[in-house]
Every structure is written in structure tokens, then in C-alpha cells.
Amino acid sequence: MNNAETYFLGIDSSTTATKAILIDKSGKILGVAASEYAYETPHPLWSEQDPQLWWTAAVASIRQVVKEAGVDPAKVAGIGLTGQMHGLVILDQDGQVLRPAILWNDQRTQRQCDAIREVVGKAEFIQITGNDALTGFTAPKILWVRDEEPQIYEKIRHVLLPKDYLRFKLTGDYAVDRAGGSGTVLFDLKKRDWSDDLIQQLGMQRDWFPPTFEGTEVTGSLSKAAADETGLRADIPVFGGGGDQSAAAVGTGAVEEGILSISLGTSGVVFATADSPFIEELGRLHAFCHAVPGKWHLMGVMLSAAGSLRWFRETFCPELSYDEIVARAIQTPKGSQGLLFMPYLTGERTPYPDPLARGGFVGATVRHTFADFARSVLEGVAFGLRDSYELMRSAGLGQIDHVRITGGGARNPNWLQIIADILDTSIFTVDSKEGAAFGAAVLAASGAGAFPSVEQACQTVIHRVGEVKPSQDAAKYNELYARYRELYPALKDTFHKLS
């Protein structure tokens, strides 16, 4: 790369908004813009979205961030993509969307998951893909369309993930990054590419699935039509990028073994990088390709992390801000006076892959106050994160040198203290606040040669800025965690009957 001023766009197409972030070649953030949208839940367990929403929002966010940053759009030298994982976007032979996208948090496909285990074998499936067949993943969604909408299934010619539909709109090319592709659970994890045998066993067509690329590889260039809509110049290279969790790991510097990252957003993710494919034999942890070339990662996922606090606020106290809720919560003692919250409001993934798991408060008495209920939600989410953290520590991945945390929920120091106490470990914050979108921009900059490697880029532009150490409350929380762990096994049958 020459010394002329150049810029890089990171685009993050999430469940609720598409964000565009602009950085210069040193990694400095010059602007951020986001355009929001909704998703639909037309039936119980369903979650769908119109793919056109992502494109409309992307165009608006790109135009806004370039304008507000005041840069010459002709000097944008690369675009990196990230977005929600596991969603199913199916197109016909003309590239037209056949039905609304089925999203990552959709839970309708339990029967198809059972069928995959029967056809392939659970242990064999885990060894190939690094994962059990779970309702959130892409593969069972394809089979659901086959079983429930055969007239649509017959028209399928292309299968994409949400961000890769955005890639198609930008470039006209069909492609997928390897981090996102492995999240379909149709990948051979060790080979970092589609498993032809698995696709054949499940009765799908191999030519539905696009070529795969590392996160820093060029997958196509901006088309003239897309340039006209976005206000950018044609032929800008579009790089592979990564699924939102691996791109977020790049955005927080979790790209080397020993660094464990926690993302406290709507869902909660505990993430660790591996230098080789690492598979937890029971499939309780998800194993995917990393957006960093030649690396892999493990992650545990709870479906309702900060989403639990949002539900609590919207249901019981919409007049209060999140900070006001937390401020009231910490007025009551640790343990919420014996009140426990189960954060399974949208089912669960780790450590219980159960779409029918349900949330609840256990131990309520007439003595409990609003503060107790609020604190129990904060503690219940932290206990859920600890489930994944303990699996990481016991999986044999290697030493955890330090833990980083990001996401909207991580902005409140009092909730951070509860999490540090419940995990009984120090938690570090970093100066990177934009997560996945920033990671996508860094992947594009690295691919374009602004940095010699993704690892070097992260060492250069991301720094630890804060530390929260566990307090003397950690010992008490160890006892409460044992009680929390008893709840799901005791209530599982009841959850299923209620559902």
C-alpha cells in the first residue's frame, strides 16, 4: 500500500441494525453510523427477517458515515463484512429471495436436528463440524424448508448467510467467509471448507453453496450498480470478513490463544481462539473457523444475556433507564436475598442445547423487592456466562491468560463487578468499543496491506484500558452458583410440558 490517505469500511448487519464504521489505515475510527429495523415472530419459536432491510440499511449507513466523516469516498480502499451468523437466505436462479430469512434465534427446527443426528450420527456429526445439530444453525433450517415448504425448496439455487446476501448486493458475487460458513454446520472444520460428504448425506445440492474465503481475502469488488446506490466508487475490493462473533473477537483483540473474550450483548458469548481445530467431544461448546486466517475458535453461547435485562425493563419498568435499574439492584445484598433467575427466555444453547428451556425466578417470597428481582437478573446472566467459562476451562484448550469483555451490557461498572465476582477472575476492558464492525474494518485493512497481519493490527490498535478484580463476594457466589446449576435439571421436564 502506498502512503496516500486511504480508508476502510466495516459493515455489520446484525439482527436489529446495520452499522457502518470508517477507519483510516492506522486503525483510527473516523465515523460510525447505524440504521435500525425489526424482525418478525409470526409463530411461536419463529424468527424471520426480510433481507431487503439489510441492504436498505447498509446503503443508508454507508452514505451517512462517509458524509459525517467528511472524507473523499473515492479514497475508500476496502470493505469488510460481518453480521449475524447462522441465518438462512435462499435465492432462486435469478438471485431473487425465495422467502424471509430464518434467523439465528429461530427455534422451529428440533425435528430436523433429530433427523440429522439419525442420518449422520451425533458423534460423527460433531467430529466433522465441531458442533452438535442445534436449532439455531443453518443446516436444519434448510431441511425445515424441504419438509414444510417443498415448493420453495425446489427453487433453491443459492444458499447464503445474511452478511453474504449483503456481499451479493455489493458485488454480484456469491461467496462466504470461512468463519461464517463453518457456522452453517455444513463445514468440515479441519479442512476449513464445505463437507461434500455431509451435504450429500443430507440430500442437499453442493452447487447451492458458494466458494469460501479467509477473512482477509478479496471476494469481489463493488459493482457499478452498488456504487451508484452507496455513493462509493466502483471496483472497491470487498473482503471476506467474518461472522459477527469472530469479527467481534478481531475488534477486541481476541485473536491469540490465552485471551478469552466475553461479549455481553442481546446474547452472551464466551470466546477463545485456538491455533488448531479444537472440538469439545460432546458438542457443548461451538467450534468454528476464526476470521483470522488459519485459526479456529471455541465459543459458548447463552441466548438471552443483556436481552434478559432488556426484557425485564420493557416488562416491568420501561420508565427506568438501564443504569437506574442497575443502581437499584446493587442496593440489595449479593445473592438477591435467596432469589435466583434463570435466563432461558428464548431457550438456551450452552450448556443446555434446549430450545424449550424457559426463564423464571425461583425462591420468591413476600420479602423480595424490586431491587432483589433486578439484581437476580444481573446475577442470573452472570451465572449463565460462568457455565460457558467453566466449560472453556475444563475443555483442555490451554491456559487462559486474561479475560476481556465488550458489548452494551459491559458499559455498567456495577454489572461488570458482579460478573467478575461470579467468574472469580479479573476482567479487562479495551479501548475498542465498536466490536464486530471495527473487526470487519480491521480485516479489510489487513487484507489490503495496511497491516502485515490481523494479529499485528490488533496489537497496534487495541489496548487494555480498565480492570475489574473480583471482590470478597466471589466466595459467596461460588455457593450460589452451585444452587443455580441445580435448577435446569430439576425443571427441564416441566419446561417441556409447558411448551
Active-site residues, by number, are: 244
Provide the grid cell at 280.
469439545
Decide if 242 contacts 180 (C-beta within 8 A): yes
Does residue 408 contact residue 414 with C-beta atoms inside 8 Å? no
CA 375 to CA 403: how far, in whole Å? 23
Q: Please, what's the largest Cα pairwise distance for the chain? A: 69
Antiparallel, parallel or unpaired: β 402-406 and 158-160? unpaired
Q: Which residues have CB under 8 Å from 9's CB, separation 6+? A: 20, 21, 22, 62, 65, 76, 78, 79, 80, 441, 444
C-alpha closest to that of 13 among 139, 129, 72, 101: 101
Q: Does the annotation list 402 as a binding residue?
A: no
Distances (CA, A) of 51 to 55, 57, 148, 435: 7, 10, 21, 23
- DSSP per-residue string spanning 318-359: TTS-HHHHHHHHTTSPTTGGG-EEE--BTBB-SS--BTT---
The pair phi, psi for residue 91, each rounded to 5°, is -120, 155
Burial (CB count <10 Å: 0-12, 13-18, 19+), residue 278: buried
85 assigned ligand-binding residue: yes
Name the residue type at position 242: G
Q: Kind and range of the H or E element at 7?
A: strand 7-13
- Which residues are known binding-site members? 85-86
Give the annotated binding-site residues for substrate.
Answer: 85-86
